[in-house]
């Protein structure tokens, strides 16, 4: 079954025909909110708002372990996560959709693995390719079916938040090879890998990162909403085309 994780600006999946909602509990606590179950084009889908349905959970306090565990526990095998990012690379202007293929983790203090505790053996995962390539290609195919456009590939830097970055920090990320910056991609991607979930991301560029383009004197937070609304509607159209591609 396909699971969709919604981020900032995507707390509701309006094209989902809801059948029921369920409050779930996991060995790692409660997820961000009740799981929403339903169908899109007669295909079963589950949806979870990463920040809660009232957008009240900041990036560093999201219970990523509970979120991913609950998805797998309810039968998800494929996960498409939607996340908002700032564009570092010059061509990643507001409104651009990106399907990243690499990630750099700058977060700290988050519960980032299921393999901790004295009762568990030391376990390593191969994170060379952080996103599932089959799901990435399914997203890209869905973009074309929806008549939309996206950037195929890119390095997603994940910072701690909730504050935005300084211009100097963005310069550092650029030197490290990052193309975009967000706050929620990790440990979400690595936890999905630990659980064997096929996970990929649609990144929505909602602003230019600090010191870039029109944000040289500061990120214009008041304009993000005007970009986010139409961009998230495009994402919904893409998701309609993505369901059913893997036998969901």
DSSP state of 29: B
Q: Is 183 annotated as a binding residue?
A: yes
CATH of the domain at 237: 3.40.50.1580
What is the pLDDT averaged over residues 98-110?
97
Q: Is residue 248 part of a domain?
A: no
Assign 248 a pLDDT band (cuts: 50, 70, 90).
low
Tell me the C-alpha to C-alpha distance, in Å, between residue 153 and each of 52, 100, 176.
28, 4, 16
User: Looking at residues 198-223, what average pLDDT do you find?
Assistant: 87
Tell whether residue 209 is among the known ligand binding residues: yes
Q: What is the pLDDT confidence band of residue 144, given thresholds at 50, 70 and 90?
A: very high
Average pLDDT over residues 114-122: 81
The answer to whether the beta carbons of residues 238 and 139 sit under 8 Å apart is: yes
* Mean predicted confidence (pLDDT) in 72-97: 96
Hey, which residues does 80 pair with through a beta bridge?
4, 200
Is residue 31 in a domain? yes
Q: Which domain holds residue 135?
A: 2-242
User: Is 103 among the domain residues?
Assistant: yes
Q: Is 83 annotated for ligand binding?
A: no
Identify whether 247 is part of a domain. Answer: no
- For residue 176, is it within any domain? yes
- The reply to whether 46 sits in an annotated binding site is no
The pLDDT, as a whole number, for residue 223 is 79
Average pLDDT over residues 195-220: 89
Say what the pLDDT of residue 220 is. 77
Which region among 100-104, 106-110, 114-118, 132-136 has the lowest average model confidence (pLDDT)?
Answer: 114-118
Q: Are strands 198-208 and 35-40 parallel, antiparallel or unpaired?
A: unpaired
Q: Is residue 205 part of a domain?
A: yes
Is 184 annotated in a binding site? The answer is yes
Mean pLDDT over each residue of the chain, to the nearest integer: 92
Does the pTM surpass 0.85? The reply is: yes
Contact 85, 203 (CB under 8 A): yes
Work out how many domains the chain is built from and give that number. Answer: 1
In a domain, 61, yes or no: yes
Please tell me the predicted confidence (pLDDT) of residue 122.
78
Determine, yes or no, domain membership for 231: yes
Residues 6+ apart with CB under 8 A from 39: 16, 17, 19, 45
State residue 247's pLDDT score: 59
What proportion of the chain, given as a percentage, has pLDDT over 90? 79
């Amino acid at each position: 079954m396909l699971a969709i994780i919604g981020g900032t600006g995507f707390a509701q999946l309006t094209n989902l025909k809801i059948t029921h909602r369920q409050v779930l509990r996991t060995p790692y606590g409660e997820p961000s909110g009740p799981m929403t179950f339903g169908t899109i084009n007669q295909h079963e889908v589950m949806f979870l708002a990463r920040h809660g349905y009232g957008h009240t959970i900041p990036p560093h306090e999201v219970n990523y372990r509970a979120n991913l565990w609950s998805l797998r526990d309810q039968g998800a095998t494929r996960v498409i996560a939607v996340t908002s990012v700032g564009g570092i690379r010059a061509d990643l202007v507001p409104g651009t959709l990106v399907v990243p293929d690499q990630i750099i983790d700058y977060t700290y203090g988050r519960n980032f693995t299921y393999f901790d505790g004295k009762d568990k053996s030391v376990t390593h995962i191969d994170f060379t390719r952080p996103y599932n390539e089959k799901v990435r290609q399914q997203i890209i195919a869905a973009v074309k079916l929806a008549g939309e456009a996206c950037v195929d590939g890119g390095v997603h830097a994940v910072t701690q938040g909730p504050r935005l970055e300084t211009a100097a920090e963005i310069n550092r990320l650029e030197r490290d090879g990052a193309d975009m910056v967000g706050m929620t991609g990790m440990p979400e991607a690595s936890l999905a890998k630990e659980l064997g979930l096929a996970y990929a991301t649609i990144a929505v560029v909602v602003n230019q990162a600090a010191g870039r383009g029109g944000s040289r004197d500061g990120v214009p937070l008041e304009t993000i909403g005007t970009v986010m609304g139409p961009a998230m509607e495009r994402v919904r159209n893409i998701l309609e085309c993505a369901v059913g591609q893997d036998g969901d």
